[in-house]
Amino acid sequence: MKKIVSALCLLILLTNCSDYLAEENKTDTLADQLYRTASGFENLVNASYSGLRNVYATPFMFESGTDIAVDGRNPGPVGLSEYKTLSSGEAAVATFYQTAYQAIQVANTGIHYAELTEQTTTLPSRKGELKFLRAYYYFLLVQSFGGVSIVDDMITTAQTAYSRHTEEEVYNFVISELEEALTLVDENPVFGRVGVRAVKHLLAKVYLTRGYLSFGEANDFVEASTLADEAIAGYDLSSISYHDLFWPGKEKNNEILFSIQFTSTSLANATSGSSQSGFYGPYHGGEGLAKGYPWRSYNLIPTTYFYDLFNQEDTRWEGSIMNVMYERYFDFYDKADKSESKISRYYPQAWEVADTAAWRAADPANRANTEIYPYEIKSTTPYVVNEWEQPDVYLDNIIPTIRKFDDPTAAAFGQGSSNRDIYLMRLAETYLIAAEAYLMRGDNATAMDRINAVKARAERTPGALQLTDTDDVTIDEILDERARELFGEYHRWFDLKRTGKLVERVNLYNKDVRDIDDAFVGTGGNLKILRPIPQPALELNTNKDFPQNPAYE
């Protein structure tokens, strides 16, 4: 959809943007004059990065309605979580569509002024960054909606008619943009800016995704595996543990290829930060930072299938899950010595506690009054906590929450105030992209090597998680490994759609969907594999030949 963004509106946009990468706002300068200066152009590039914050403001387009996540305490959009009612009127879909095109228009403006602004030594790399970002936004759109309008010019006058490009045309555009970006960006950029490895990672994923499609080219999986290996370039995942990778304050590390950055100085107010911790962490309610309630996460909770993916040898269980909850929730992070921290709740996995009495006796001062909820317990009746009755619909099991995104420094935890970065690309995923591409090439042995590199870091005992038989390398195994490694990192819906496993795995493992008859079936028997083109975009378009996706016609 062509967004109408005047130069004045862009200037206002930049004025309100945070200093994502040390932006300097000059509101008293006309936009055209500003963007022709080195500092003004730098602001424009930084604003294009900042658009990611809006696109990733909520996780619902990325994680709802999958095999590993269901609604938590505050349900998300029901159409996205259950499919049956998903329609062109879904507000969350329209917001995603709009914010992506708004970000594209900022990138378009930056690319336009790259030919007009002052010449600097950083200008080529900045243009490459803009090309990357524009391609990134279009890749999100084409995966979500199929063919969309390719708008690659700066819009300064009203546009009322636009045409829909084919899915193949959009993929070709994205690949062309990334290939150009690859020749322009820095090999070793400052942390936070796009570099060669990030471009190769994304280009590998684009080729991988296109390879599954009817118009995919014969060499797509080869290109994907080659680029992924080049992005890895010998990087050893063991250089940082999974525990440290997600420990608060350690977001700047060599595994991260691309992330959305949040710092206290760049946030407009206390609720304008990352919401990732709030969506996946426990509800803290009126207790503020002190306590986390036991029955479920604020917005999204893992499915029982996700919990079943772990065993006692996988350290990502403790690295991802808050299975020991102290009376003051953040004692987990704030107190190295927890000898005087009382444990309010304990959620043991099947292998963790055989004798709860012995577990209490090991530390009676802190464990005597602990509420223990073994993983196997199912909630079939309303669950009462502190006189609050929680209906059964709230629960899959009485389960612990995801802790990997927690932020003990958040001013108002769970309300969009986290300073923690959101990881969009990291090298563990690059290994798994390579594994999937090699599998699709028919090279199971190399695929197994790439998967095992990811498993090796997670092992408590060396070799305990390793695959040893190439017949065990399957798409389902790769999806399981992506779940263990990447839960909550905004990939899952795209993973299931790419691999053709969306309907199968959601119907099997998502409790909110599996009891709904024909949840995915839309108009004319077409499946809701794509998202609907938002109704406002269709209504405002004077070109009435712009088609809706078949399941929503």
* Domains: count for the chain: 3
What is the predicted pLDDT for the residue at 17? 36
Query: How are the residues of the chain apportioned to helix, strand and coil, as percentages rounded to the nearest 5?
Result: 45, 10, 45
* Same domain flag for 45 and 161: yes
Q: Which residue, of 385, 407, 429, is where some domain finishes?
A: 407
* Same domain flag for 229 and 239: yes
Give the CATH number, domain containing residue 438.
1.25.40.390
Q: Is residue 275 part of a domain?
A: no
Query: For residues 51-61, b (16+ Cβ closer than 10 Å) or e, as one string?
Result: bbbebbbbbbb
Q: Is residue 473 part of a domain?
A: yes
What is the predicted pLDDT for the residue at 18? 34
Q: What token pair was written down for 409?
A: 């420094």
* Same domain flag for 117 and 12: yes
274 closest CA partner among 420, 55, 424? 420
Which residue intervals of 146-215 are DSSP H helices? 167-182, 196-211
Model confidence band, residue 349 (pLDDT cutoffs 50, 70, 90): confident
Instruction: State pLDDT tens for residues 376-389.
Output: 555 444 445 444 44
177 closest CA partner among 256, 114, 111? 111
Q: Which residue, of 489, 504, 539, is where some domain finishes?
A: 489
Q: Which residue has the tokens 């350290």?
A: 315
Q: Which residue, of 407, 435, 455, is where some domain finishes?
A: 407
Percentage of the chain surpassing pLDDT 70?
Answer: 84
Strand partners, 425: 258
* Same domain flag for 257 and 370: no
* Same domain flag for 347 and 432: no
Which H or E run includes 301?
strand 300-302
Instruction: State pLDDT tens for residues 220-264.
Output: 999 999 999 999 998 999 999 999 999 999 999 999 999 999 875
φ/ψ (deg, to 5) at 541: -85, 120
Q: What token pair was written down for 52?
A: 């990611």
Has residue 50 got a pLDDT over 90? yes
* Same domain flag for 199 and 101: no
Between CA 491 and CA 171 the distance in angstroms is: 18
One-letter identity of residue 245:
L
Higher pLDDT, 408 or 436: 436
Higher pLDDT, 289 or 65: 65
Q: Is residue 60 part of a domain?
A: yes
Instruction: State pLDDT tens for residues 414-444.
Output: 455 788 999 999 999 999 999 999 999 999 9
Which H or E run includes 300?
strand 300-302
Task: Point out the least confidently predicted range of 155-159, 163-167, 306-310, 412-416.
Answer: 412-416
What is the predicted pLDDT for the residue at 64? 96
Model confidence band, residue 132 (pLDDT cutoffs 50, 70, 90): very high
3-state secondary structure of 426: strand
Chain centroid, CA 373 distance in Å: 29
* Same domain flag for 374 and 518: no
Query: For residues 79-111, b (16+ Cβ closer than 10 Å) or e, as one string?
Result: bbbbbbebbbebebbbbbbbbbbbbbbbbbbbb
Between CA 55 and CA 206 the distance in angstroms is: 19
Between CA 235 and CA 251 the distance in angstroms is: 17
430 closest CA partner among 214, 170, 238, 203? 203
* Same domain flag for 178 and 69: yes
3-state secondary structure of 474: coil
3-state secondary structure of 494: helix
Beta 371-372 vs 383-385: how paired, if at all? unpaired
* Same domain flag for 205 and 345: no
Between CA 498 and CA 437 the distance in angstroms is: 12
207 closest CA partner among 489, 502, 498, 530? 498
Q: Is residue 272 part of a domain?
A: no
Instruction: State pLDDT tens for residues 283-342.
Output: 665 544 455 554 556 688 888 899 899 999 999 999 999 889 898 888 999 899 999 999
The mean pLDDT value for 485-500 works out to 98
Q: Is residue 181 part of a domain?
A: yes
* Same domain flag for 513 and 381: no
Which H or E run includes 15?
helix 7-16
Has residue 529 got a pLDDT over 70? yes
What is the predicted pLDDT for the residue at 297? 62
Query: Structural domain of residue 3, as residue ranges?
Result: 1-185+491-553
Has residue 524 got a pLDDT over 90? yes
Higher pLDDT, 68 or 301: 68
Query: For residues 407-421, b (16+ Cβ closer than 10 Å) or e, as one string?
Result: bbbbbebbbbbbbbb
Between CA 313 and CA 186 the distance in angstroms is: 39
3-state secondary structure of 406: coil
Between CA 49 and CA 142 the distance in angstroms is: 20
Chain centroid, CA 129 distance in Å: 20
Q: Is residue 433 part of a domain?
A: yes
What is the predicted pLDDT for the residue at 52? 96
Between CA 399 and CA 395 the distance in angstroms is: 8
What is the predicted pLDDT for the residue at 443? 98
Q: Is residue 367 part of a domain?
A: yes
Instruction: State pLDDT tens for residues 189-215.
Output: 999 999 999 999 999 999 999 999 999
DSSP for 45-88, please give it.
Answer: HHHHHHHHHHHTS-SHHHHTTSSSEEE-SS---HHHHHSTT--T
CB-based contacts of 400: which residues, under 8 Å, 6+ apart?
Answer: 321, 322, 323, 325, 347
What is the predicted pLDDT for the residue at 347? 85
The mean pLDDT value for 509-534 works out to 95
Residue count (the chain)? 553
* Same domain flag for 369 and 478: no
* Same domain flag for 3 and 83: yes
Higher pLDDT, 158 or 137: 137
**What average pLDDT is seen over the chain?**
87
What is the predicted pLDDT for the residue at 374? 76
3-class DSSP string for 345-403: EECCCCCCCCCHHHHHHCCHHHHCCCEECCCCCECCCCEEECCEEECHHHCCECCCEEC
What is the predicted pLDDT for the residue at 387? 46
Percentage of the chain surpassing pLDDT 90?
Answer: 69
Q: Is residue 483 part of a domain?
A: yes
CB-based contacts of 549: which residues, under 8 Å, 6+ apart?
Answer: 145, 146, 530, 531, 532, 533
